[in-house]
């Protein structure tokens, strides 16, 4: 199992969190949706963290929620969206630094 983290935000036409995650995966890596399969319909991990105000973006101080989904693919990154992704790499799931995320990904793969 190899992992590449990506992220994004919901858009008005997203029909679900899973669909948004799959759309973002395609947008940021170029891997077509037809080449990935969700490992489940629920997030493998949900993270909440503080985001300070950003006057350049007009964003107030707020809580941010990351809903992390797991997808399976044998495809490689086709076209990295460098405006939003600074680095992407395939790596073994057991090297995920966040202990809770690593545990949930490994459990989902069993």
Q: What is the pLDDT of residues 5-64, one digit of tens each?
A: 666 788 999 999 999 999 988 888 888 889 999 999 999 999 899 999 999 989 999 998
**pLDDT at 110 (0 to 100):** 84
Range of the domain at 16: 2-109
> Do β-strands 62-68 and 71-72 pair in parallel, antiparallel, or remain unpaired?
unpaired
End-to-end CA distance of the chain: 11
Instruction: Answer yes or no: is pLDDT of 77 > 90.
Output: no
> What does pTM read for this prediction?
0.78
Average pLDDT for 54-79: 87
The count of structural domains within the chain is 1
Compute the distance between CA of residue 76 and CA of residue 57 in angstroms, rounded to an integer.
32
């Amino acid at each position: 199992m190899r992992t590449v983290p990506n992220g994004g935000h919901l858009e008005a036409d997203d029909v679900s969190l899973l669909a948004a995650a799959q759309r973002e995966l395609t947008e940021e890596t170029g891997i077509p949706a037809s080449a990935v399969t969700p490992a489940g319909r629920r997030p493998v991990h949900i993270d909440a963290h503080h985001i300070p105000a950003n006057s350049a973006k007009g964003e107030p101080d707020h809580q941010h929620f990351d809903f992390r989904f797991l997808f399976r693919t044998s495809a490689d990154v086709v076209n990295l969206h460098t405006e939003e992704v600074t680095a992407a790499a395939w790596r073994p799931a057991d090297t995920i630094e966040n202990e809770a995320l690593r545990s949930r990904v490994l459990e989902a793969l069993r």
